[in-house]
Homo-oligomer: A and B are copies of this chain.
Amino acid sequence: MRYLGKQEIEDIAIGAALLGTGGGGDPYIGKLMALQAIEEHGPIKLLDPEEVPDEAVIVPSAMMGAPTVMVEKIPSGEEAITAFESLKSNLSTEIYATMPIEAGGVNSLLPFALAARQGLPVIDSDGMGRAFPELQMVTFYLDGLSATPMVLSDEKGNGMVLNTINSVWAERLARGATIEMGGSVMLAIYPMTGEQMKSSSIRNSLSLEENIGRSIREAKEKNYNPVDSVLELTNGYELFQGKVKDINRKTESGFARGTATIEGIHHDKGKELELNFQNEHLMATADGELLCVTPDLIAVLDAETGMPITTEGLRYGARCIVIGMPCDEKWRTEQGIATAGPGYFGYDVNYTPVEQLNEQEGNHDA
């Protein structure tokens, strides 16, 4: 157990942008909300999963919606409390702690804002080890836990309790409601016991984000490039260096979908990298050759500062380094690949671990 103050939140926000793999919503909003909550309520207690009693009731919290909308419609924090309190009343029990469902983007930070205001601890783990765009794309789903009862709350005061036959239906009904409610809502979701959390969640992902963020911050302060230390922390690979040449994005069915083309510079000169995203970067190919594909992680870093760039933040002409990182082993099972692999997102490639795609060519920097 330790307490997180403003510096830790700043670092986690940077790491969240990186593990957000370009999506999950800009962590900036979540960071502002968490910092404001610490300002008002003091430091936030972070628990190691092992410190949580087996019989404790845990309720993850999250925002649902398209990142483009989130930027325009910043939540007050009241919606999260309403969703949380409504689920507490539905469960007729006290809640021991909250946690993120995804390590990545705004959803890594939002549970801190809620926890500070509710006087609850946050658990150092999540359900993805990265960001993904749909509610069933969590290790909890792979382990048979139910997303419901879950609550959606909007900023206007509308609320919805869902009880669905499975988490795919939860995703479907919540997505439709999110669009009706204005494009983004707050969720209290996947209620579970401490025992279930310990066996199913991806552990210490918030600490990993903090370490990533700290190394990027320190590199910036001391004016060196942080990519090597990021690759070391994440067991990652440098995939490409280049300049953004083309971006196509559109918001449809509540998702920000698109592609970006990056033109090679330095040793990648003459080549082109194509990035495919649906909120998150999901597939990277260079001149038709697969370099990294979901559920493995792809992040785009500013070539100068090493700061992660979201899909929304990609700008024409930006110089960047694209990295690939292995996902948690839970995603590499048959069910994991069926749930969040390339086929699910409509890409006609077989999943191959990023290590295999890159080590055999000898370009692993570690």
Contact = CB atoms under 8 A, between A and B. Distances in A.
A172 interface: yes
Interface stretch (A27-35, A39-47, A153-161): A153-161
A348 interface: no
Contacts of A173: 158, 160, 177, 180-181
A61 B265 CA distance: 66
Given A173-B177, A177-B176, A160 B158 contact: no
Given A176-B176, A177-B176, A164 B169 contact: no
Interface string A125-148: 000000000000000000000000
B176 A169 contact: no
B172 A165 contact: no
Q: For chain A, what secondary structure do more than half of its interface residues adopt (helix, strand, loop), or is it mixed?
A: mixed
Interface string A163-186: 111000100110011011100000
B163 A163 contact: no
A165 B160 CA distance: 11
Q: Which 3 A-B pairs have the closest CB atoms?
A: A161-B161, A159-B163, A157-B165
Interface of A: 86, 156-165, 169, 172-173, 176-177, 179-181
13 contacts: A156-B169, A157-B165, A158-B162, A158-B164, A158-B173, A160-B160, A160-B162, A160-B173, A172-B180, A173-B181, A176-B177, A176-B179, A177-B177
